[in-house]
Amino acid sequence: MISQRVNPTTDADDVDRRAIALWEVGAFVFIMLAGSALHFAYELSNFWRPMAMFGSVNESTWEHLKLFFFPGLLFTLVQYAYVRERANNYWYGKALALLAVPVGVIGSFYFYLGIALPIYGRGFLWADIGTGAFGVLLGNLVAYRVLTRPPLAPSYRFIGIGLIGAMLAAMLVFTPYPPRMFLFENFYGYEYSGDFGILDDYEPYLVFR
Report pLDDT for 61. 97
pLDDT for 7 equals: 46
Residue 113 has pLDDT above 70, yes or no: yes
Q: In this predicted model, what pLDDT tens digit does every residue of 137-189 receive, in sequence order?
A: 999 999 999 999 999 999 999 999 999 999 999 999 999 999 999 999 999 99
| HSE-up (13 A, CA, CB side) for residue 110 | 11
- Neighbouring CB atoms inside 10 A of 65's CB total 23
Q: How far is CA 172 from CA 54, 69, 135, 167, 178, in A?
A: 8, 11, 20, 9, 10
Q: Let me know if residue 169 belongs to a domain.
A: yes
Q: What range does the domain containing 183 cover? A: 15-191
126: in domain: yes
C-alpha–C-alpha distance, residues 206 and 209, integer Å: 6
The three-state secondary structure class of 185 is strand
Domains identified in the chain, total number? 1
Indicate the DSSP class of residue 106: H
Whole-model pTM? 0.91
1 confidence band (pLDDT: 50, 70, 90): very low
Residue range 6-21, pLDDT digits in tens: 444 556 667 899 999 9
Q: Is residue 56 part of a domain?
A: yes
The answer to the question of residue 124 being in a domain is yes
116 belongs to a structural domain: yes
Question: Distance between CA atoms of 199 and 191, rounded to whole angstroms?
Answer: 16
In this prediction, residue 12 carries a pLDDT of 61
